[in-house]
Structure 1
Amino acid sequence: MLDIRKIAELPEAHKRDCGKPTGIGGAANRHGKERHMQITGGWVYDPDEGFAERTVCTDGEKIARISTDTKRLDAAGCYVLPLLIDLHIHGYAGADAGSADPAELERMARALLMQGVGAFCPTTMTLPEARLAAVCRCTAAYCKERHPGAQVAGIHLEGPFLAPERRGSHDGALLQNPDPELFRRLQEAGEGAVRLMTLAPELPGALPLIRMAVKQGIRVSLGHTQADYDTARAALRAGAAQCTHLLNAMTPFGHRAPGVVGAAFDVPGTMVELICDGIHVHPAMVRAMFRLFGPERVVMVSDALPPAGLPEGTYHLGSREITVDHGRAVLSDKPETLAGSVCSLMECVRRAVSFGIPLADAVRAASWNPACALGMETRKGSLRPGQEAGAVLLDRETLETRAVIARGCVVEQ
C-alpha cells in the first residue's frame, strides 16, 4: 500500500514517470501501470452527496468504477477532493498570464498544480490590442502541445471593456467601449481561446457584444462596472451569466439600490465569483454571499497576481507597480486600491472554512461550480467515474495538502 506520508521516499523511477504529469490532455505513462490505483480510506467529496468514506479508482487517466490493480494510496485521515479550477488568475509564482510567453504559462501551470489546481483561465489585464492579441496567440499555441502542470481552460479577457470609475488596477488610458470588431480580432488571434469575458454592461455597445459573444459559446461576466440594478438585470437577461469578483469594483449592494448584486440574485442561474482571501471581502460578507446565492451559485476564484507565492515586496503588473505587504497587494502610487490577491485558490478554500463556510460548500465553489460554468462538468470538477483522474488529499485536521494526483499519477512535490 502506498502511504501518502511516504511519498518523498518513492523510488526515483516512479517519481520520474508519475511525478511530472503534462498539461493539455496529459502524456501517456511509459509503463502505464502507475496510472491504475485505488485511493482508499479517505473521505471523498461529491457535489451531490458531500463527503463520504469510499474508494476512488483510477484506470489510466480516468476515474473508474473498479480497479483490477492492487496498488493502493492510503488516504486515511484525509479528505479527497477533485482538483480545483481557477477561472480568474493573473499570475502565480512570478509568472504573468499577460506576458505572451509560453515559458511563463508553463511555470504558472506547474506551480498551480502543486497547489491542487488542475485547470485555470489565464486572465488578462487591460493591455494594448497588440499585446492582447499576442497573449491570445501564445495561449492558443500553448494549448496545442503537451505541457506539465495544470491545464489551461481558456483565456479570461478582463478588460478593456471596463468602466473607468471602477477600473481598480487596470490602466484607465487603455479602457474602451465594447467593440465587436476588436473582440473578433482577439478571438481570431487566439483561434477561439477566449472562453470568458468580463465587461461593464452600462457602456455603449455592451448588450450587442454580450449577445454576439454568447452565440459563440463565450461566457460573459459583469464586472468593473457602475451599472445599476436595471442595467445589470438587462445584461443578464441578454445572456451574461456571471459576475466578476462580486462586491469588488462594482456598485454597492444597497437597500434602495441593490445594484449588480441584487440583479445577479434575481436572475436565476447567475453565478458569482468570490475572492475568499479575507482581504477583498470581509468574512461576514463571505458568509452572507454564500447564504444569499447558495453554494451552487458561488464560484470561488483567487484573482492571484504574479507575486502570489513569492516574498513580499515591490513588483510590476503590466504598466503598474504594485506593493505586497502583510498579504495585501496594492498599487504603489494608490495604496488604497487593491491590485488583486496573493493567495492560491486552495488557500482561499482554507480561509473560507475558517470564516465558517462548510468545507463541502467551499470545495464545490472551487471545483464543480467553475467546471459547470465553463461546460467542463463531464470531464472535471468531481471524482465520479469517467472524470479525469485528478485529486487532492487534504489532512482532515489541518487542511494542509498531503498529496496531489493528476492524470492518475501522484505528483512529485
Structure 2
Amino acid sequence: MTHAPSRRTFRRLLPAVAALALVAPLAACGGSDTAAEDGKTLRLWHYEQKDGALGKAWDAAIAEFKKTHPDVKVVFERKTFEQIQQNAGMILNSDKAPDVMEYNKGNATTGLLAKQGLLTDLTATAKQRGWDKRISENASVTARYDEQGEMGGEKWYGIPNYGEFVLSYYNDDLFEKHKVTKPTDFKSFEAALAKFKAAGITPLANAGNDHPAGHWLYLLALSKADDAWVDNYQLYQGKVDFQGPEWTFAVETYKKWLDKGYFDKKDVGLKGSDMTEQFVAQKRPIMVGGNWWSGSLTTDITDFDWSTAAYPGSEKTLGSGGNHWVVPTRAKNKKLAEDFIDITMSDKIQKLLGEEGIVPLAAEPGSIKNARSQDMIDSFNTYQDDKGLAFYPDWPVPGYYDTWTGATQSLMNGAKGEAVLSELAGPYEKHAASRPRG
C-alpha cells in the first residue's frame, strides 16, 4: 500500500539509503558536473540499485544511448530515493537540475512538482514519439496530471516503463500434497482456504503492521466495485460512501476470515518481509501481494514449486504504472532527455525488463522467454486492458498510509467494522472538503 512512494520502492531502496550518502557521478560516465546547453551533455539521475533489475535495465539504456549519441557525454548520478524525494523541489528550481530523472508517481510527488511548474509538459512529445499509444490509458493515469496536480489529468508529466500490481502466489507443492484445487473464482478461493484450514494449516500470509493488511481490505472492496467507484475514491469524481456495500463487504469478509482462522490474528504486528518469510518457509500456502516480491522469491525459494496467478476473487486489483522519467523545466538538454526516454521504451530495453522479472509496459507480445515473468505480464495486461488497475488505497490523502495501517490493525484486534470504516472515512472526507473546486 502506498501514498506516493510505493512500498515496492521503499523495500527495494532501503539498503541503498542505508549505504549511500550523495553518490558522486560515476567514473564510467565521466565528465564534469556542469552541463552546458549545447546538446552535447546528458545529465541523468535515478535511484535504482546497480545489481537490481531496474538498475540493469537503465544501465543498458545508458549504454544504448551512448551508441546512438557518440558525441554526447553522459553524466549519471545514482541518488538515493530519499535524496530525490526530500530535495527535488529545491534542486529542480535551480540550475543544478538534471536533464532527466526517475521520480515517484502520485499527487504528492510528480503532481506537486507539475503544479509548481518544475516539470516539463511531455504531452506533445508523448504523442509525437508514440509513447501514449504504447502505454495503456489505465497505466498512464499516474503519469498524467491536471492543473491542481492531481493524477488522471490530460497532460503527461512522466513516462513510466513498467507496471506493478497485486496478484496471488501459490505453493504448488502444498496444493498438491493436500489435494487442494487451484481457485478460479471467489467461491473456489474460499473453498481452498477452508480445505487448508481443515488440514491444520493457516492458509493466508499476512502482515498487519505494513501494507499487506490494507491491501487485502482494499482488494476485497474492489471485488464489489465498478469503474465509477474507483474513480470516485481515487480521483474525487463523486461522493464516497464508507458505509456502502463495497467497504462493508470488505470488513465483514476480513472479520469472517479472521474468525475462521484463514488469517492469523497474531500477524497483526508483522511487516511485509515477515509475510514473505511465511510463504518462503511454507507456513502459508497462499500469499496475495505485489509482483515486486517475485524477484526475491525466485532467489529465496529453493525447496518447493510455486506459481503466480491473478487473484481470482476480483476483476480489479491494486496496481498502476510504475515510477517514471520526468524532464525538469530547467533541464538544459531536453531533446537528449527525450531521446533517452525513447530508448527505455524500445523493444530491447522493454524485453530486458521482462526477462529480469519486471512487468514492462511496452514489450512486444510473446518476446519474454522467462515463463514466470510472462505469466505475470499476461495477468497485468488483462487488468490494464480492462481498466482493472485500481491504484492503492492510501493514495488519495497525504499521510493516509498511517491511517490505513492503524485501521486494519484495529480490525485484526477485534474492532467493529463500522468503527474501522469511520476511522478511514475521517481523513478522507476532511481532505475531500478542503480541495479546490473547479
TM-score of the two chains, using structure 1 as the length reference:
0.27
| Greater relative contact order structure (CA < 8 Å, 6+ sep) | 2
More strand by share: 1
TM-score of the two chains, using structure 2 as the length reference:
0.26
